[in-house]
Structure formats: structure tokens, C-alpha cells
């Protein structure tokens, strides 16, 4: 494709022709690299405009509403047991749903491509106006001007070391035509390449970046596995405003092996004890839990209960959780058994102030 243009221009030597080819071959991947370096950020910024990603509260509400709407036990289990993995997978799915159809990504690519080509043409114009002693100096000036935008390897520049008296204006003309043809080739490539294939070339993983921006902290309560509410990374104490029934976090009564329905805020002011891997399976008082988990601050309050949302989840999937955790089903309170899915969703709305 580019060779057709090259034939229109009479090169001064075989070496110069080879140099043209070398620069051309390195320019296209450099431009692609520039575009894919930017697209990940563009996608994250666009997703942040969506209501479900606008705040941490909106995000948590959206993912919990999706869970109860889907009514899939495996999803609930993965969300509880592998919170960060599940959430990032959920984000990735949302990104693919949003961008796999439509022209948004193409618009991003076109804008970044035009920006990059504009920088290249400006660099060529500036180097041409300044005049250089030889072609190597001319090319180096162009590359230096673009250093913050494009990474062009030394391998691409080496052939120009031997070219001294070559026609710089002729080369600049060739380079502009080469850039134009490369631009059209990239437009075609972007159009036919599937979004999933493009994702693999991004310099950042959008799901990781969105998780860090919206969630920040992926730590979970050592007892009920509720995620930390602090957000961001710059906090020394983890906390959660609403804890879940302890059985959802794999805790069961040691004697009966039944999953427990009480919550952490009550347990930390009780005389109960716990044991786990962190205690080397030795019994430890809940009141002194911070000796084992010093980075967690569980607000003691015996009057608090789990939300109707998590009561509904536990009573609905009681046997499933017991089987998954190699325990016995919990003794579900009669009041929990009456909670409907609609009431659970309403509880979720109230918990997140979502009307």
C-alpha cells in the first residue's frame, strides 16, 4: 500500500529507500501504541459518567440490585467469598456491554488518531522550517518533537546515520503521504477489530482502574465478609456501616456446625468466642477481636440487625451456603422466612438512600 506512494518519489539511493521503509514500518505501531495508551483512560472516564459508577454508594447499590435480580446463588457466593474478583468481573462485563455495540470506541479512536497525526505533521513542518545539515538530523528533530507522544525505536533511526545530502523536502513529502496512507489503514483496522481484541492492547485494565476509583479498598470484614466502606487507599482503619449475618462469611457454631445468623456489631460486645486461621484455630474472645484484626474497627451495637436484603439472601440460599461451606443450614428466624424479594429490594433502596 505505502510502496505505491514510494514509487512516485525518486529516491536518491537504495539506502534512502530502505530508510523510508524502516521508518514507515516503525511509525504505524508507534501510532497504535499512542492510541491504545489513551483509550483505556477514555473508557474509564466515560464509564464514570454512568449513574452506577458515579459514586461508591451508587456502585454498591447497582451491583447488589443486579445480584438479587439475577437470583443466582453462585454469583452471591462469589461476591461474598471473592469480592474483588467478582466486582472486577462485573465491571468488565458492563464495559463490554456498553462498548461492544455502537460507535463510542470508534469516536475515541478517531479523536486520538487525529490528535496524533496532527502532532506528527506539526513536527514535520517545524523540522522542515528549521533546516538541517543532513537527513539524520532532520529525522531526529521530528522524533525529538514527538518524544512525549510516540516511541520510535533507535532501530528505525539507524539507517539515516549514513544519509547526509538527501533531499529533506522530498523526504518530508514522502513522510506526509506515508502518514496519510497509514491513517487510512488504521481507520480500516479499527473498524474491523472487535472490542475484546482492542481491550487486550490497552495499557491499563479499565476494570482495575474503575475498581480503584469507585471502590478503592477491597478489604472485607474478617467475620461476615462485608466490604470496607472507607473507600480509597489512604486509610488505616477498615469499617462497615452495615454488617451481614455471620454465617455468610463461613462462620458456624462449633458444636452443631450450623451457620450463624447473628451479626458482627452484636458479637463484639458479647461473651462469645471465635477461632479461625488467623488465631491458629485457637479460641479468642470477640471483645478482643482487634488483637487479631487490628486494622478493622467494628462499631459495637447490640441493637443493630442485618438488613432485610441479607436476611432474605440467607434464608433463600441457606442450604446452598451450608453445602458450599461444608456446614449445616442455619436456624432461620421465623420473621426472616416472611421477607419477600420485593421487601429485600426495598430494604436495599433504603440502605443506600436510593429512591
**Residue 308 confidence (pLDDT):** 95
Each residue's pLDDT tens digit, 12-33: 444 445 555 556 667 788 888 8
User: Residue 353, by phi and psi: left (phi above 0), alpha (psi -120 to 50) or beta?
Assistant: left
Cβ neighbors of 289 (< 8 A, separation 6 or more) are 222, 223, 268, 274, 296, 298
- The total of structural domains in the chain comes to 2
The number of CA neighbours under 13 Å toward the Cβ of 159 is 18
Report pTM: 0.83
Q: Which of 188, 215, 242 is the last residue of a domain?
A: 215
Percent of the chain with pLDDT over 90: 53
Q: Are residues 153 and 227 in the same domain?
A: no
Q: Residue 114: pLDDT band by 50, 70, 90 thresholds?
A: very high
Q: How far apart are CA 244 and CA 250, in angstroms?
A: 11
Q: Are residues 187 and 300 in the same domain?
A: no
Give residue 286's domain range: 216-346
Count of other CB atoms within 10 angstroms of residue 97: 9
pLDDT digits (tens, 9 = 90+) for 115-151: 999 998 998 888 888 877 777 788 788 888 888 877 7
Do 222 and 203 belong to one domain?
no
Backbone φ/ψ region at 219: left (φ over 0), alpha (ψ -120 to 50), beta: beta
- 120 and 99 share one domain: yes
Boundary-marking domain end, from 215, 237, 252: 215
352, part of any domain: no
Three-state SS at 259 = strand
Hey, what's the cell of 43?
A: 473508557
Give DSSP secondary structure letters for 20-89.
Answer: HHHHHHHHHHHHHHHHHHHHHHHHHHHHTTSHHHHSHHHHHHHHHHHHHHHT-HHHHHHHHHSHHHHHHH
| Position 255 in a domain | yes
Backbone angles phi, psi at 259, to 5 degrees: -60, 145
Higher pLDDT, 308 or 172: 308
Question: What pLDDT, in 10s, does the model give residues 41-65?
Answer: 999 999 999 999 999 999 999 999 9
Amino acid at each position: 500500500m505505502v510502496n505505491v506512494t514510494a514509487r512516485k518519489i525518486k529516491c536518491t539511493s537504495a539506502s534512502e529507500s530502505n530508510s523510508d521503509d524502516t521508518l514507515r514500518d516503525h511509525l504505524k505501531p508507534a501510532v497504535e501504541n499512542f492510541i491504545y495508551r489513551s483509550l483505556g483512560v477514555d473508557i474509564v472516564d466515560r464509564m464514570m459518567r454512568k449513574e452506577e459508577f458515579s459514586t461508591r454508594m451508587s456502585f454498591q447499590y447497582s451491583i447488589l440490585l443486579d445480584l438479587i435480580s439475577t437470583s443466582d446463588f453462585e454469583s452471591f457466593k462469589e461476591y461474598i467469598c471473592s469480592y474483588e474478583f467478582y466486582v472486577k468481573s462485573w465491571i468488565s462485563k458492563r464495559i463490554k456491554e456498553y462498548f461492544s455495540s455502537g460507535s463510542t470506541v470508534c469516536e475515541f479512536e478517531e479523536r486520538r488518531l487525529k490528535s496524533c497525526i496532527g502532532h506528527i505533521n506539526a513536527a514535520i513542518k517545524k523540522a522542515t522550517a528549521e533546516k538541517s545539515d543532513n537527513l539524520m538530523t532532520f529525522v531526529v528533530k521530528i522524533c525529538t518533537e514527538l518524544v512525549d507522544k510516540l516511541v520510535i525505536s533507535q532501530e528505525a533511526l539507524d539507517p539515516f546515520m549514513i544519509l547526509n545530502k538527501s533531499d529533506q523536502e522530498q523526504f518530508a513529502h514522502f513522510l506526509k503521504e506515508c502518514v496519510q496512507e497509514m491513517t487510512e489503514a488504521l481507520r480500516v483496522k479499527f473498524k474491523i477489530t472487535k472490542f475484546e481484541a482492542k481491550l487486550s492492547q490497552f495499557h491499563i485494565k479499565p476494570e482495575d482502574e474503575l475498581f480503584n476509583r469507585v471502590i478503592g479498598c477491597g478489604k472485607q470484614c474478617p467475620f461476615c465478609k462485608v466490604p470496607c466502606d472507607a473507600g480509597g487507599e489512604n486509610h488505616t482503619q477498615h469499617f462497615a456501616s452495615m454488617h451481614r449475618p455471620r454465617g455468610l462469611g463461613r462462620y458456624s457454631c462449633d458444636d452443631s456446625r450450623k451457620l450463624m445468623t447473628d451479626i458482627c456489631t452484636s458479637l463484639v460486645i458479647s461473651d462469645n468466642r471465635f477461632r479461625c486461621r488467623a488465631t491458629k484455630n485457637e479460641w479468642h474472645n470477640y471483645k478482643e477481636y482487634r488483637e487479631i484484626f487490628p486494622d478493622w474497627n467494628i462499631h459495637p451495637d447490640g441493637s443493630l440487625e442485618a438488613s432485610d436484603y441479607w436476611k432474605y439472601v440467607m434464608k433463600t440460599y441457606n442450604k446452598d451456603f451450608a453445602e458450599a461451606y461444608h456446614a449445616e443450614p442455619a436456624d432461620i428466624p421465623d420473621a426472616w422466612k416472611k421477607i419477600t424479594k420485593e421487601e429485600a429490594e426495598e430494604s436495599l433502596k433504603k440502605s443506600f438512600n436510593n429512591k
